[in-house]
Amino acid sequence: MESTKNKYVLVIHGGVGTIIKGNMTTEKEAAYLETLKISLFEGEKILRNKGTAINAIEAAISVMEDSPLFNAGKGSVFTHEGKNEMDASIMDGASLNAGAVASVTHIKNPISAALQVMQHSSHIMLVGDGAEKFAKQQGCELVDTSYFYNEERFQQLKLAQQNNEVMLDHSGENNNLEGNIENSGRKLGTVGAVALDIHGNLAAATSTGGMTNKQFGRIGDTPIIGAGTYANNTTCAVSCTGHGEYFIKNVVAYDISALMEYKQSTLKEAATYVIHKKLKHQNGEGGLIALDKKGNYVMSFNTEGMYRGVVTTDHKPKVEIYK
């Protein structure tokens, strides 16, 4: 087998959905592409300097969490009650150690809190006030909820409430949301990253603000290890985005790894089967990025678009939005 030592790969995503070029202003498109490039730059800097896959994906995701463009961190969507409740998880492919936070409302960078859970807690998932108390103890930055307020996101909530729906109706019939708000479409937010470092280790992480108009403390696949995030050095690292309920039911991230481990599927075969056959058959919208131990990667989605990018030891950063 070709050695992957001294090779690195970083793949990122910024969510999937009804992302159509005709609905996107030139300025907005440029802003998305620029933020994806900065995310790749920050992550690659760590990998190039012999840093770990874990630290690289935290850095890459933090850039997207700090941007109002993506449904994570600063750009998180609103719940039915008009709050921002965020989820994140991270997993180390070398040790199978993982950490996650869910339903947090004050943590500026939920991905950093998830990393603290992984590194400094005997638990894997912490939620709500407890997660915030722990994050504060570990030195994570907490902010006032006003930090997450975004007028465009708030208007998305109002529109979803008028139409009595979560802004993620997978039936495809509720596209009346599109066009009412410039470029809202039906974007299934969430940001994520997977990386292979020069030490041969894989890692995966995902962060989200969830669904517009979600109720009753709903949590999606993002903080659930095996559903939205999974990494194992013997197979692959996966970060998912899309209609979370389907990703939970199908344990999508782990399913990719299992297909590789038990059926000897290639990464591409596994991703194509799960995203384009299994989920599509159930009307489950979404996508994923994944990376195997040899440095092969996929960016697979069954929607109109997915914000995504990749950089490797041998190739310059490449970012894309549409099919």
Q: Which residues are catalytic?
A: 190
To the nearest 10°, report the CA torsion of 204, 207, 208, 209.
170
Rg (CA), the chain: 18
Q: CA 189 from chain center: how many Å? A: 8
Beta bridge partners of 181: 178
Which residues, at least 6 apart from 57, have a Cβ–Cβ distance to it below 8 Å?
A: 10, 43, 90, 111, 193, 194, 195, 203, 204, 205
Residue with tokens 């909820």: 145
DSSP 36-75: HHHHHHHHHHHHHTT--HHHHHHHHHHHHHTSTTSSSGGG
Are the beta carbons of 276 and 265 closer than 8 angstroms?
Answer: no
Spatial contact of 40 and 208, defined as CB atoms under 8 Å apart: no
Q: Give every CB contact of residue 98 below 8 A, 6+ residues apart in sequence.
A: 89, 90, 91, 92, 118, 124, 225, 229
Of 12, 210, 34, 194, whose CA–CA distance to 110 is shortest? 210
Tokens in use for 32?
Answer: 């998305």
Read off the tokens for 219: 């949590």
Alpha-carbon gap, residue 319 to 12, rounded angstroms: 9
